[in-house]
Chain A
Amino acid sequence: MLEIKNLHVSVEDQEILKGLNLTVNAGEVHSIMGPNGSGKSTLALVLAGRESYKVTKGEIIFEGKDLLELSPEDRAREGIFLAFQYPVEIPGVANTYLLREALNSIRKYRGEEPLKHVEFGRLAKEKMKVMGISDNLLKRAVNEGFSGGEKKRNEIFQMQILQPKLAIMDETDSGLDIDALKIVANGVNALRSPERAFIVITHYQRILDYIVPDFVHVLVDGKIVKSGGKELALELEDKGYGWLEEEKIAANN
């Protein structure tokens, strides 16, 4: 589904990703772990098409298409969803309004009829239950005055409505208490299917107890230095990232 080859990315002339390779197949859950500043969020934003992140080398193929040729909205319409680490507030725009506009713009791209208000309402109701989202939250302006937990739950709620092919979660677990974490994890697990893939970016192993990954990758200094199964996450929890950084330095020498 997704193939990233030798990806180099710079932000304001500083190289953040330095030759990253990653292959994600449909049905798989990949976790990307790594220390602060290793380039995890950069990877998420590059996949989503954030303009200030310049790809200087390498390629990204998504479902056979050159992803780097697509606008951010077309990537979304092709089925890429990013659950943001810091979801922005949009005053005066109802949460439900943005979501319906978004869904219908995606449907239009796919040549489908727009959903009517009633149909959308029914869909939203169903997903709200899964995510423990109140009617009130749906009617409020996008993320305005939401608590940290509400913002994250709202991201996963949007993911449920938009039904992406590839869902990228950028530190969705940060700032969540254990109950909220479980709700978010349930929401994600409900979406797991053979047609859908996930990239779960996190600092901590904790979320992986609930969203069990097929692969764990460790990102250090802009490169994946180690890949393994879910047990790698436990090892990292135990030993930290230091030993991998040392290994990498040793390898470079």
Chain B
Amino acid sequence: MSVDLEKLAEQEYKYGFVTDIEQEIAPAGLNEDVIRMISAKKNEPEWLLEWRLKAYKNWLTMKEPKWPNVHYSPIDYQAISYYAAPKKKQTLESLDDLDPEIKETYDKLGIPLDEQKMLAGVAVDAVFDSVSVITTFKEKLAEDGVIFCSISDAVQEHPELVKEYLGSVVPYNDNFFAALNTAVFTDGSFVYIPKGVRCPMELSTYFRINAENTGQFERTLIIAEEGSYVSYLEGCTAPARDENQLHAAVVELIAHKDATIKYSTIQNWYPGDSEGKGGIYNFVTKRGRCLGQSSHISWTQVETGSAITWKYPSCILEGDNSVGEFYSVALTNRYQQADTGTKMIHIGKNTSSTIITKGISAGHGQNTYRGLVQIGKDATGARNYSQCDSMLIGDKCGAHTFPYIEVKNSTAQMEHEASTSKIGEDQIFYCQQRGLSAEDAVSLIVNGFCKDVFKELPFEFAVEAEKLLSISLEGSVG
């Protein structure tokens, strides 16, 4: 009958199944030949291969970052396979050509790929291990001039756009994991919204890791031309395995004058078992450039999965009056570790940024917020508001906050608020006295804590996020 906050029970990860399918998997190991093989498979132009090789050579000289507040055994980069694709992949004319096993996988994940069955107004790019298997609603979007396809297709069909923008936000040598991604990235999504177009539907990419001992290295590129608007969402899951798997993605956003990009993530990679065995290493570089005047980039993330998360979706506010936002919920249960936050780089005049983060630690989870707000010397009238709240459930978990603020212009206005609270036994008891179970009470209280972030998500996904949070919290009270 008692609410024992310390007792952690087994939590169910319901996406942990494996799809039994014939796959083409490259032998483990990384060298120039592997990169040439990936590039050849994708029939890439010479400049792209050169860029990959340049990144690879650079990567060889780089060191894995040790500054994040996370601990894991060294990764053997030669033990990972850098390419895995379902074998039957041919050019898909329609959904009927898609391998039924894969279709079923997405059905099981709650992402039906039938256009009739899908959530109205959401187009999906489904990425299965290293390749995009299908993109829905392509034709309908094309009527408005919106391009939504896999990045591999974009390289073939829109090489000029890819060449102009790829690497323009995250350079090939940006950091260790971004360099690795540049060398071996296999697929991802590409979005282009023409001038003045408000994208008529939500765009989303669903990433699924299936193959064993492979890494997933996807690359997403979103370009919003002047006065356009797009809302994009990504979701991720992986099978439950005892070995750790590496996921090192790069996402680049470009917002021109008066354009708005809203980018939401629901990250639910396999977090590892209750002993801390297995799980995904999620080492991701996400960055957006507010290039034009009054452009707007908004990141919203709900991070409940992965054994280790290392991720700082950032905004470079170059255009005058541009706006950057970062809303984050990060939950660490069991032995999960997260070091996540954002960078807001103010360059243009009257740029403003908002950071709202909610970190929840349960079990042995360790949750770190790390954020940088930088006001450049020309960023007259820049403003930032940061609010970082942490909640602890039980007494074996931890919350850490590392805010960095650099101001080189005296007109800047900065506000920073932070709080850490323990989930109140009084609150839980109050809810129980009204008839809720302790577990429902915790989920209710935590969802309330995260409300400021959830309200930034597209409606359907806000509901999804609340459910996900409740599932991830299962077992945090005994």
User: Which one of A57-65, A98-106, A178-186, A242-250 is at the interface?
Assistant: A98-106
Asked whether, in the complex, the Cβ of B433 is within 8 Å of the Cβ of A93, the reply is no
Count of B residues near A, CB < 8 Å? 25
Chain B residue contacts of A141, Cβ below 8 A: 448
Q: How far is the CA of A48 from the CA of B430 in the complex (A)?
A: 10
* Chain B min CB distance to A167 (Å): 12
In the complex, the answer to whether A105 meets B447 with C-beta atoms within 8 Å is no
Contact B430 A102 (CB under 8 A): no
**Which residue of the partner chain, among A49, A84, A99, A162, contacts B432 with CB atoms under 8 Å?**
A49
A158 is an interface residue with CB less than 8 A from chain B:
yes
Residues of chain A within 8 A of B444, CB atoms compared: 90, 93, 97-98, 101
Contacts of A82 in B (CB 8 A): 433
Verify if A251 is at the interface (C-beta below 8 Å from B): no
Contact B430 A90, beta carbon cutoff 8 Å: yes
A73 B449 Cβ-Cβ under 8 A:
no
Contacts of B19 in A (CB 8 A): none
Residues of A within 8 A of B440 (CB): 101, 105
Pairwise interchain contact B433-A72, C-beta atoms closer than 8 A:
yes
Secondary structure class of chain B's binding surface, majority of residues = helix
The residue on B at minimum CB distance from A107 is B435
- Could you tell me if A72 and B432 are in contact, using CB atoms closer than 8 angstroms? yes
Chain B residues in 8 Å Cβ range of A87? 430
Q: Does A125 contact B (CB under 8 A)?
A: no
- Residues A84 and B434 in contact, CB atoms below 8 Å apart: no
- Report how far A90 CA is from B448 CA in the complex, Å: 7
A105 touches B1 (CB 8 A): no
Contact A76 B450 (CB under 8 A): no
In the complex, whether B438 has a CB less than 8 A from a CB of chain A is yes
Interface check B37, CB cutoff 8 A = no
Do B452 and A109 touch across chains, with their CB atoms under 8 A apart?
no
Mask: chain B, 1-34; 1 = CB below 8 Å from A; 0 = not: 1110000000000000000000000000000000
- For residue B468, CB closer than 8 A to chain A, the reply is no
| Bound Cα distance A141, B450 (Å) | 13
Are B437 and A88 within 8 A (Cβ)?
no
**Interface-facing stretch out of B78-86, B185-193, B339-347, B421-429:** B421-429
B471 adjacent to chain A (CB < 8 Å): no
Report the separation of the CA atoms of residues A87 and B427 in the bound assembly, to the nearest whole angstrom: 9
Chain A: CB-nearest residue to B426: A88
A11: interface (CB < 8 Å): no
The reply to whether A88 and B436 form a contact with Cβ atoms under 8 Å apart is no
Contacts A50-B429, A70-B1: A158 and B448 contacting too (C-beta < 8 A)?
no
Closest residue on chain B to residue A82 by CB atoms:
B433
Q: In the assembled complex, which residues on chain B have CB atoms less than 8 Å from the CB atom of A75? A: 433
Instruction: Name A86's closest neighbour in chain B (CB-CB).
Output: B426
Q: Determine if A77 is an interface residue (Cβ-Cβ < 8 Å).
A: yes
State whether A90 and B445 are in contact (beta carbons under 8 Å apart), knowing that A49-B1, A51-B2, A72-B1 are contacts in the complex: yes
The answer to whether A71 has its CB under 8 Å from any CB of chain B is: yes
B431: interface (CB < 8 Å): yes
Inter-chain contact A92/B427, CB cutoff 8 Å: no
B396 contacts across to A, CB distance below 8 A: none
Q: Name 22 A/B residue pairs within 8 A (Cβ), A-sorted.
A: A49-B1, A51-B3, A51-B429, A69-B1, A70-B1, A71-B437, A72-B433, A73-B432, A73-B433, A73-B438, A76-B433, A81-B433, A84-B430, A88-B424, A90-B427, A90-B448, A92-B447, A92-B449, A93-B451, A102-B434, A105-B437, A158-B434
Question: Footprint of A on B, CB under 8 Å?
Answer: 1-3, 424, 426-427, 429-438, 440, 444-445, 447-452
> 4 additional contacts, CB 8 Å, given A50-B429, A90-B445, A90-B448?
A73-B436, A76-B433, A87-B430, A93-B445
